[in-house]
Amino acid sequence: MIQDPAGLLHRIPELKPLCEDPGVLHAVEQGDPFRLYRALRWARWLGRLRSHRETIDALLSHRRLFARPLKGNPWLGTVNGFGATLLGDAEPDPHDGTHIATHYVVALFAVPLLPLGAYVVRPGDGSTALSRSWALFARVPLGPVPWLWSRALALGVMALVALGAVQTFRDSRYQDVRVINGFPKPLRVRLGGRMQTVPPHGMAVLSQVPAGRQVGRAWTEDEHEVDRVDFDVSSGFDVLAWNIAGAAPVYRESVVYTPSSGTDAPSIRPDIYCGQKRIALRDVDFAFREPSSSLQMSKSEGRVTRSHVAIAPQEPGKMPVCLAVLASQDKLAQAVPLLELSAQMADWKHETTTRAIWLALGQTPQEALRIAQTAVQARPGDVELHRIYHWVAERTGHQKEVLEEYRSRAQAQPDSTMAQYLYARLLRGHEGKAAIEQLAQRFPQDPEILKSVTYARWRSGDWKGALQASETLRKLNAQEAAKTAETEAFALVALGQRGEALKLLKKIFAEEEPDDRSRTAEMYARIALDAKGVVPDELIAQLETGNPGEEGSRRWDLRARAGLPTEGAPDWPGLRVMSTVGRDPQAALALAAQLKPSDYHLLSSGGWALAYGEAVRTGAAESEKALAQAHLLDTVSLEVFRRFVRGETVSLEDAELTPEMRAAACFVRSRNAALPAQERRQLVEQARRDDGVHSAVSEAMATWAP
């Protein structure tokens, strides 16, 4: 017995012999006419029931036999050309005017996109091509083409879903990682088995890095390792980047769009990721590309904010952007490794090496000494790097070790000019001056020795001798002679030749490289302050207006050290100390206690010596401690200076002091009421002679209360 709950065999008696096919039998027993139609269609396509082919073809050509009653009317209508409608007129019946139409999702009113079903319909009275009404009687199976079409679309959607799932799974296992190089040399990198070369101050992408903890390594072309990280590679970020050693100034800002003005400036300060090696950010609209200049907005929106991530530009040869950023965030300790790497990348050039050592000295003195040693080992023939090494050793209390190191070298190389010079310059007092003078007789053509002779005579107040040595050096090497411009100009002023000093400085300024002009411009301003018919800040102003190689901004550091007005300057403690030390020592000492390492470059030698000497004399411990960290004197000279201003019996000849420092020491010591009046008067006279350029020391002698 065949179960026939829907009476299909009664409706279509021809089906009974066809029930020998399991598919047809199952459809009949289910009472589903649509399933029955598909079973017959598959039997025809697959070649089953061959003996009943004519019967099957006849049944399939009359889809009305498999009709279902309506359970509701389908939605018909379009909006802007898109919607749903009935198309086609299959199996028309001439007796009652009905036909079978297919219900489609359409575009442009009549372009079929997706078949939804088929119905026995009759057009309503008054229907036209552009406006139709329908009478719907029953639902019938889709024809073979629309049915295959719908199934193909369904399979396509399923395939897309499957591909999306596979891609999501793959994305969870692999991730692209941007690698950013903030250094001036190309770097090779390896991360998760992927390798790439990253250009200087550039970026590269490592594709499909396996997810999880991956060891990353970056190295130079000469195999020196720059960075090694334990990098967490994970998905779900718009930006996942390895900032090598945290050196590149990557930042994130908000870009604000308004209907009236398009793009506005960011409303808040950007986040800057200096010192951060792994950068993982979500919700980034513009990653390492320029934001759109405009944005389409609805009328109800007053402003729209988008996120932009980029790398700040770095000018070649200038101070690293991240150094300034970390300094502003009081994170200078993080800047030391970056600066050391920058110095190494720059082949230990003097400017970058000095900057790294200076910063390290204020944070970890032993690191400063190590960096200096590394630089000397990398370039043993560079005299300037040896001098930097000496300077650090003297300020970290390693004078004896370094002196023995260079003494041994001089003994082992008696005919080496460099070895003899480097040892002699470490000697102090009369012994050091005599050793340098002897070397000048032995090696009269060596520029480094002649420069040391010039400095030694200048520090001791031998103005004529200093000028003579400078003239000899100029005839031998004008470029090296320009480096002694400060001493030569000072000596000319001390001998009453202020005009000649200004002419010399102007000439040197015009001939110097742009990056070497700052010190000359400062010295010119200091000397010109007491000259008639001269604009003191003439050369500084040239730097500020953006001469080639110079930044076009106010050089407050030069103006402060030169004693020029600093109205409108930033509220930096270093600037305020310089502007007050010549007039109000108590106020200057209060400010000195607030000094940070980033302020020390703002202090002139004379201004610093005045403030430090007065701090020692008055027992201002906090100010003394802060000022001592400026490292303007080596440890031996600093101790001699301290003892001298406290009134102890000690000679300044045992200290390496500039004339201005010596003038400051003499003046501060003269304020000690316990000393004999005659000695105090002599100290003041000595201070006036030494302060030939009338620095803050001369101002203090005129304004400080007794």
Q: Is 88 strand, coil or helix?
A: strand
Query: How sure is the predictor about 295, in pLDDT bands with cuts at 50, 70 and 90?
Result: confident
Q: At what angle do helices 429-442 and 447-459 cross, to 10 degrees?
A: 150
Q: Could you report the per-residue pLDDT of 365-410, keeping only the tens digit for each?
A: 899 999 999 999 999 999 999 999 999 999 888 999 999 999 999 9
Query: How sure is the predictor about 130, in pLDDT bands with cuts at 50, 70 and 90?
Result: low
Question: 509 is written with which tokens?
Answer: 């300024």
Q: Could you report the per-residue pLDDT of 320-365, keeping only the tens digit for each?
A: 888 878 877 778 777 888 888 888 888 888 888 888 888 888 778 8
Mean pLDDT of the chain: 88
Section 17-45 average pLDDT = 86
Q: In this predicted model, which residue has the larger pLDDT, 127 or 292?
A: 292
Q: What is the pLDDT of residue 305?
A: 87
Question: 303 is written with which tokens?
Answer: 């402003």
Rg value, the chain, Cα: 44
E strand or H helix at 171:
helix 144-173
Question: 55 is written with which tokens?
Answer: 């019967």
Q: What is the pLDDT of residue 549?
A: 41
Q: What is the pLDDT of residue 548?
A: 41
- Judge whether residue 298 has pLDDT over 80: no
Question: 530 is written with which tokens?
Answer: 């007491």
Q: What is the number of alpha carbons within 13 Å of residue 401 lying toward its C-beta?
A: 10
Q: Could you report the per-residue pLDDT of 52-111, keeping only the tens digit for each?
A: 888 888 888 888 888 888 888 888 887 877 888 888 888 888 888 888 888 888 888 778
Nearest to 601 by CA among 573, 643, 638, 635: 573
- Judge whether residue 266 has pLDDT over 60: no
Q: What is the pLDDT of residue 64?
A: 86
Q: Could you report the per-residue pLDDT of 536-558, keeping only the tens digit for each?
A: 999 999 988 864 444 447 889 99
Section 35-40 average pLDDT = 88
- Judge whether residue 319 has pLDDT over 80: no
E strand or H helix at 229:
strand 225-233
Q: What is the pLDDT of residue 264?
A: 52
Query: How sure is the predictor about 413, in pLDDT bands with cuts at 50, 70 and 90?
Result: very high
Query: How sure is the predictor about 661, in pLDDT bands with cuts at 50, 70 and 90?
Result: very high
Name the least confident of 124-133, 246-255, 275-284: 124-133
Section 212-216 average pLDDT = 93
| Non-local CB neighbours of 15 within 8 Å, separated by 6+ positions | 8, 9, 24, 28, 36, 59
Q: Could you report the per-residue pLDDT of 137-147, keeping only the tens digit for each?
A: 888 888 888 88
Question: 552 is written with which tokens?
Answer: 């076009």
Give me the phi and psi of 656, to 5 degrees please: -90, 85
Between CA 637 and CA 245 the distance in angstroms is 38
Q: Could you report the per-residue pLDDT of 161-175, keeping only the tens digit for each?
A: 888 777 766 666 788
- Judge whether residue 584 has pLDDT over 60: yes
Q: What is the pLDDT of residue 54?
A: 87
How far, CA to CA in Å, does 111 sit from each of 100, 115, 156, 157? Answer: 18, 11, 20, 20
Between CA 23 and CA 43 the distance in angstroms is 8
Q: What is the largest CA-CA distance in the chain?
A: 142
Q: Could you report the per-residue pLDDT of 667-698, keeping only the tens digit for each?
A: 999 999 999 999 999 999 999 999 988 889 99
Is 399:393 a contact under the CB 8 Å cutoff? yes
Nearest to 651 by CA among 662, 659, 660: 662
Q: Could you report the per-residue pLDDT of 461-508, keeping only the tens digit for each?
A: 899 999 999 999 999 998 888 888 889 999 999 999 999 999 999 999
Q: What is the pLDDT of residue 377?
A: 94
Query: How sure is the predictor about 261, in pLDDT bands with cuts at 50, 70 and 90?
Result: low
Q: At what angle do helices 635-645 and 605-618 cross, to 10 degrees?
A: 60
Q: What is the DSSP string of 237-293?
A: -SEEEEEGGG-S-EEEEEEEEETTTEEEPPSSPPEE-TT-SEEEE-S-SEESSPPPS
Q: What is the pLDDT of residue 79?
A: 81
Query: How sure is the predictor about 127, in pLDDT bands with cuts at 50, 70 and 90?
Result: low
The CA dihedral of 217, 220, 224, 228, to the nearest 10 degrees, is -20
Name the least confident of 84-98, 225-239, 437-451: 84-98
Nearest to 372 by CA among 355, 396, 350, 389: 389
- Judge whether residue 289 has pLDDT over 80: yes
pLDDT more than 90, % of the chain: 46
> Residue 310 has what DSSP assignment?
E
The CA dihedral of 586, 590, 593, 594, to the nearest 10 degrees, is -140
- Judge whether residue 643 has pLDDT over 90: yes
